[in-house]
Amino acid sequence: MPRTLTNTEVEDFRDRLCDVAAGLFETRGRDGFTMRELAAKLGVSAMTAYRYFRDKDAILAAIRARAFNRFAQALEEACARPGDAAARANAAGEAYIRFALDDPTSYKLMFDLSQDDANYPELAKAAERARHTMTRHVHPLVEQGLLAGDPDLIGHVFWAILHGALMLKFAGKLDSNFRAVLDEALRALVSGLQPRNAGR
């Protein structure tokens, strides 16, 4: 092995570490996750991870940042598909739900409240990218007169509904009718945001 690791070698190891760590979060949960087991799964000693991350918390931040980026990318891809503005917005919403239901561990980690994004610039940037993605696709809807109001505000309204329904579901508060609640909420919101119904 060379005397000094190249940037890509460092990044590769960080990637591999995050992949393994994400798997551990999945199987062991936030509390059961230990540095020693992570090291063992990576085939290195317990202290090796500390050459690549400041501490355990920094590893969590890196995993969360990666999740935010994958999430943003999934939404962006959904938005990029052919179709009119309404179809794209719909696709973005479906992609949001699919991401959260397919990978609930990542989704929960992303919105975990026990870590302050401000301490981790990479994480803050990834979260900001996701936030931007959440409001971006609303602008054409307003420009085309399909919805009325401030696009950023409306984007956050839809975000709040999706997030609220998902978090209640994860908390076991929406027994089996998660989809019914969400569909009714979206229908009512879209209706209430029609130009003829909006603004008082």
* Site residues, DNA (CB under 7 A): 1-5, 13, 32-37, 44-48, 50-51, 55-57
Q: Which of a second copy, DNA, none binds 119 (CB below 5-8 Å, type-dependent)?
A: none
**Side chain identity at residue 36, one-letter code:** R
- Given candidates 129, 151, 173, 179, which one binds a second copy under the rule CB under 8 A? 173
End-to-end, the C-alpha distance of the chain in Å comes to 68
> Residues, the chain, total?
200
Task: Report yes or no: 63 and 21 within 8 Å, Cβ to Cβ.
Answer: yes
Nearest by Cα to 148 from 191, 115, 182: 191
The window from 1-9, 18-26, 70-78, 115-123 that contacts a second copy (CB under 8 A) reads: 115-123
Judged by beta carbon distances under 5 to 8 A according to partner kind, the member of a second copy, DNA, none in contact with residue 85 is: none
The region of 5-13, 47-55, 83-91, 168-176 touching a second copy under the rule CB under 8 A is: 168-176
Q: Is 136 in the site for a second copy (CB under 8 A)?
A: no
CB of 6 to DNA, least distance (A): 8
CA distance 10 to 12: 5
Ramachandran assignment for 112, one of left (phi > 0), alpha (psi -120 to 50 degrees), beta (any other): beta
* Shortest distance (Å) from residue 52 CB to DNA: 7
CA distance 102 to 98: 6
Using CB under 8 A as the binding rule, whether residue 122 contacts a second copy is answered as no
Q: What's the min distance (Å) between Cβ of 168 and DNA?
A: 28
- Binding partner of residue 51 among DNA, a second copy, none, CB cut-off 5 to 8 Å per kind: DNA
